[in-house]
Structure 1
Amino acid sequence: MTFTKPPEARSPLLGLVLAGGRSTRMGVDKSTIVYHGKPQYEYLHDLLATYCDDVFLSVNAEQALQLANSRFKLIPDDSTVKGPLAGILTAFQNQSLHHAWLVVVCDLPFLSEQSIQKLVFNRKSETIATAFWDSDHRFPEPSVCIWEPAAYPALLRGIAEGTPYPRTILMNNAIELLEIEDVNELTNVNTPDGLAPQQQDAFFLREAIRLAKKGIQTGQDGPSDDGF
């Protein structure tokens, strides 16, 4: 697929894969599970690279050591805030306050390139963020979202107000909301049984976990599974 950047002037776009979760329910580092022929962190990194000027992995301390000599650019999570917001804040603070960030969590195995493209091409840079409606069409879905530079003060306000949750911050600010073509793409797979209803093949996930265990082992630091 040939990619042409949107014509209107916007802040440059960087990609961020949130890979630093604890993965306690899955039993293995979710970012290392192989769904598409490569570890999920690598698959998402390469997917975002088509649409972003550069892509980074948000990692915990253990992952930072394991990936230190890899081809990937790492942003170790050093925020005092817990949960997914920590990785987003660290990216703004330690890498760039002047870029927008296309942020994706690592446990979305059904996420398609078409949805990433839709998000990028329908981005509204005059808002703080562009996101999809969630699968129930009730709230913004923060698991795949573009955060504009103007989002950074909103993130800090959320922390100061005691609501350091990406979804709540999206709900409390001006954002652009889009329809995703297939709501199954927003399914978070956090347990070994989580994939079975869509795949009708539990062996698929068991084999993916087996391959992951042969590679990078579970990180024990970083945001929890349910921080959104």
Structure 2
Amino acid sequence: MEITLKADTGNINGLLLAGGRSKRMGGKDKARINYHGKEQRFHMKEILTKYTMKAFMSCRPQQLKEFSDQADLLPDSFIDLGPFGALLSAFRQNPNCAWMTVAIDLPFVDDKTIMHLIQQRDPSKIATLYKSKDTGSPQPLLGIWEPRAYLRLLQSLAFGKNSLRDVLEDANIKLIEPLSDHTLSEVDTMDELDIAIKQLSQQNSI
């Protein structure tokens, strides 16, 4: 199948990645955790909506009924491939715009994080991504993926690779520094959840 991409570097759609199974959280749905006065799926979607043409929440097809109260769901059409499949599904839905990805388990991502990402964006690259302070490696679940990334994702899939980190190997990307030490802090376990809630409470009280 031949894919024609149009060069429109101003277009960005938002993609909130919420299709995980939360196994390490004992089945507690990360999308429903309340960090900021409402469930994270609503909080983060509102932020993305402010800075993108349109914001979607990705999910597994089985979650459509569960999230029936969520606007603009984008179910995976590439099944059982995690965030890789979610991003591919987004590009299949619209291959001519860039996609800003934000994982549901990054509760410290705020307006400043998103604005900084957009300001630092380089449309000539495959993607603009935040860099881990610990490892220096890109965080593929928080960044802007340009339309040119779609073909690279499809090529990677054809070679049996379905990890976003594999796609980024030797890729022409732009790495940017996070605004704080907490920006890329993930919440994957109940212990991490307790720590994050305390840190956010302290942060909000300042």
Aligned residues: 192
1:21-49 CA distance string (max 9 Å, x none)? 10111131111111111111111110111
1:128-156 CA distance string (max 9 Å, x none)? 10001113142111121100000001111
Q: Distance in 1 between matches of 2:94 and 2:41?
A: 21
State whether residues 84 and 166 of structure 1, in contact with CA within 8 Å, keep that contact through their aligned partners in structure 2: yes
Identity across matched positions, percent: 36
The residue type paired with residue 115 of structure 1 is T
Partner SS, residue 194 of structure 1: helix
| TM-score of the two chains, using structure 1 as the length reference | 0.78
1:32-89 CA distance string (max 9 Å, x none)? 1111111111111101111101000101233211333x35101111214512101111
The match for 2:4 is none
Q: Distance in 1 between matches of 2:196 and 2:90?
A: 33
Structure 1 residues 150 and 200: CA distance shift in structure 2, 3 A = same
State whether residues 128 and 175 of structure 1, in contact with CA within 8 Å, keep that contact through their aligned partners in structure 2: yes
State whether residues 135 and 184 of structure 1, in contact with CA within 8 Å, keep that contact through their aligned partners in structure 2: no
Taking only aligned residues, the RMSD between alpha carbons, in angstroms, comes to: 1.8
4+ residue segments displaced more than 6 Å: none
Larger RCO: Structure 1 or Structure 2 (Cα < 8 Å, ≥ 6 residues apart)?
1
The match for 1:134 is 132
The match for 1:149 is 147
Partner SS, residue 67 of structure 1: coil
The match for 2:3 is none
Q: Distance in 2 between matches of 1:98 and 1:39?
A: 31
Shift of 1:172: 2.5
The match for 1:4 is none
Give the gaps of 5 or more residues in structure 2: 1-7, 202-206
The residue type paired with residue 148 of structure 2 is A
Shift of 1:197: 4.2
**In the TM superposition, what are the counterparts of 1:51-200 in structure 2 within 5 Å?**
51-68=51-68, 70=69, 72-80=71-79, 82-93=81-92, 95-200=93-198
The match for 1:221 is none
The match for 1:208 is none
State whether residues 103 and 143 of structure 1, in contact with CA within 8 Å, keep that contact through their aligned partners in structure 2: yes
State whether residues 83 and 141 of structure 2, in contact with CA within 8 Å, keep that contact through their aligned partners in structure 1: no
1:151-197 CA distance string (max 9 Å, x none)? 00111122223332112212321011101121321111011101344
Q: Distance in 1 between matches of 2:198 and 2:14?
A: 32
The match for 1:45 is 45
Q: Distance in 1 between matches of 2:35 and 2:158?
A: 38
Partner SS, residue 41 of structure 2: helix
